[in-house]
Amino acid sequence: MNTASLSNVPILPETGGYEFVLEDLELAFPKHQLKEITKQWNNGKDVEQIAFKIRRHPDEVFLALFHQSRKGKIKRPFAYRMKEV
């Protein structure tokens, strides 16, 4: 995982009490599948429809779309951030 930099090293204190998240999901995608997920989303399909078609868990599809959104590859709105009032 590429989260470390010279100014930001994510080191957890050795106090324990941590839980790893998403360990029941497959987080890797073949490039062609990631491209298909993005295409289906941009063409108006929802997460559940895409998950059924590609036989992946809807949470995995959501994470793939989140990834693609961060890379600017999503044309259709994916999520909105509310501005602080």
pTM over 0.85: no
List, in order, residues 6 or more apart from 41 with CB less than 8 Å away. Answer: 50, 65, 68, 74, 76, 78
State pLDDT tens for residues 52-78. Answer: 999 999 999 999 999 999 999 998 887
Terminus-to-terminus CA distance in the chain, angstroms? 34
Which tokens belong to 73?
């590859």
DSSP 1-36: -----SS------TT------STTS-----HHHHHH
**Integer Rg of the chain from CA:** 16
